[in-house]
């Protein structure tokens, strides 16, 4: 078949018209989302984790103890997974000052694993010692949305700490971006933050926040397009989600393929580190660092998640006031608890009922 210039121009015109017609003829631009089905019969489990919170922020520094170099990398609050690669890079820089080549890493959560992998990538040998291994670490029950939140108290944190926080946040973000896909369980999801009142001045979802440029597509939706019309403010952006079960298993695989080994061991005191053959040790023990090293500033923040049966059609995040819903392959995550100075790992049934009831009302709208 032979096409003339006139035929091509005519065809292009028809294509352009076809592209315009649906939106021109559509009566509504409203985004349609699959609702989450919130009911008691859909609950798979309710889990509790303790966030290692320090009002002044995380600790990355080194000290000498009984002839060993201890490099601390702990106190990440509610952003252990989020910050793991960034603070671990700082910790590795401290390790390199010791000139040791055989390094011990204490802890096998997201922070310990990131530290061990970065040490390997610098050509060092890293052995992990840990009381609990995945899937029994705090990192396994994290919500694990990339978001450097609940890390410090603004009344205490210094400008120097904040500058370091935003820097390591960007380092971690870049590493996770390189892991996008099912192999590491890292995905980008559209997100909808719903509010009846303007966002708080300190919110990281504001357009002038230190990480606004990493929340791609950050904007307020028009009333004619918002999927949640009951809220006058619906701010949408792209979230990076890390699925802990897949991600931690993949990092352990990479670590072991590179020659790493994991030894299960419980340390009651820092003095027991002297029994290790390694002279440089990275402390990634999270909340346990309070006991091991007498950090009186650190305290737990209890977080509780209820996991519903998976809904593959739910591919977005919803952030109503004081609540959050994350979709994962292993289930729908419902959360919204931040109990300061609470160390109990027992699920709070009243909190579970409150979270479920609030989400049920939200999605019923």
Asked if 246 contacts 329 with a C-beta cutoff of 8 angstroms, the reply is yes
In angstroms, rounded to a whole number, what is the distance separating the alpha carbons of residues 319 and 103? 41
The residue written with tokens 């504001």 in the block is: 206
Check residue 25 and give its pLDDT.
40
Q: Which tokens is 202 given?
A: 């300190």
Q: Which stretches of the chain score pLDDT less than 70?
A: 1-28
Residue 354's DSSP bridge partners are none
Tokens 């370091």 belong to: 164
Alpha helices in the chain (DSSP H): 5-25, 80-98, 110-121, 159-177, 244-257, 289-292, 349-364
Which runs of E-coded beta strand occur in 162-232?
186-195, 219-220
Q: What is the 3-state secondary structure (H, E, C) of 295-341?
A: CCCCEEEEEEEEEECCCCCCCCEEECCCCEEEEECCEEEEECCCEEC
In the prediction, which pLDDT does 27 show? 53
Tokens of 79: 């952003």
**Pair 296, 338: CB distance under 8 Å:** no
Round to whole Å and give the CA distance between 84 and 242.
12
pLDDT of amino acid 19? 37
User: If you count them, how many residues does the chain have?
Assistant: 365
Quick count: other Cβ atoms within 10 Å of Cβ 214?
21
Pairing of strands 59-65, 233-242: unpaired
Per-residue confidence (pLDDT) for residue 5, from 0 to 100: 37
Domains delineated in the chain = 40-364 (3.30.9.10)
Per-residue confidence (pLDDT) for residue 28, from 0 to 100: 62
CB 306 within 8 A of CB 334: yes
Is 231 in contact with 261 (CB distance < 8 Å)?
no
Do 304 and 337 form a contact (C-beta atoms < 8 A)? Answer: yes
Which residue shows structure tokens 């990092």?
251
């Amino acid at each position: 078949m032979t096409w003339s210039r006139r035929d091509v121009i005519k065809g292009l015109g028809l294509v352009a018209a076809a592209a315009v017609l649906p939106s021109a003829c559509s009566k509504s631009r409203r985004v349609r989302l699959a609702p989450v089905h919130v009911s008691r019969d859909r609950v798979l489990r309710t889990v509790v984790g303790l966030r290692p919170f320090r009002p002044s922020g995380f600790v990355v520094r080194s000290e000498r103890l009984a002839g060993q170099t201890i490099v601390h990398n702990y106190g990440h609050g509610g952003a252990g997974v989020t910050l793991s690669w960034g603070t671990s890079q700082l910790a590795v820089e401290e390790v390199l000052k010791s000139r040791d080549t055989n390094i011990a890493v204490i802890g096998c959560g997201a922070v310990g694993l990131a530290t061990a992998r970065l040490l390997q990538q610098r050509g060092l040998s890293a052995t992990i010692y840990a009381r609990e291994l995945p899937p029994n670490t705090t990192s396994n029950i994290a919500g694990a949305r990339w978001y450097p939140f609940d890390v410090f108290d603004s009344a205490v944190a210094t400008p120097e700490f904040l500058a370091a926080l935003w820097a390591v946040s960007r380092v971690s973000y870049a590493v996770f971006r390189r892991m996008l896909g099912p192999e590491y369980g890292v995905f980008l999801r559209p997100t909808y933050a719903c509010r009846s009142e303007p966002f708080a001045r300190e919110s990281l979802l504001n357009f002038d926040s230190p990480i606004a440029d990493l929340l791609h597509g950050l904007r307020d939706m028009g009333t004619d397009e918002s999927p949640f019309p009951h809220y006058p403010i619906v701010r949408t952006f792209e979230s990076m989600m890390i699925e802990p079960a897949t991600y931690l298993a993949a990092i352990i695989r990479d670590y072991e393929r590179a020659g790493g080994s994991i030894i299960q061991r419980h340390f009651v005191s820092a003095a027991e580190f002297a029994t290790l053959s390694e002279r440089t040790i990275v402390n990634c023990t999270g909340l346990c660092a309070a006991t091991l090293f007498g950090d009186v500033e650190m305290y737990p923040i209890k977080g509780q998640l209820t996991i519903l049966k998976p809904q593959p059609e739910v591919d977005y995040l919803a952030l109503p006031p004081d609540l959050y819903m994350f979709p994962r392959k292993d289930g729908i995550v419902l959360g919204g608890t931040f109990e300061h100075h609470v160390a109990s790992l027992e699920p709070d049934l009243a909190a579970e009922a409150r979270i479920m009831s609030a989400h049920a009302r939200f999605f019923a709208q």
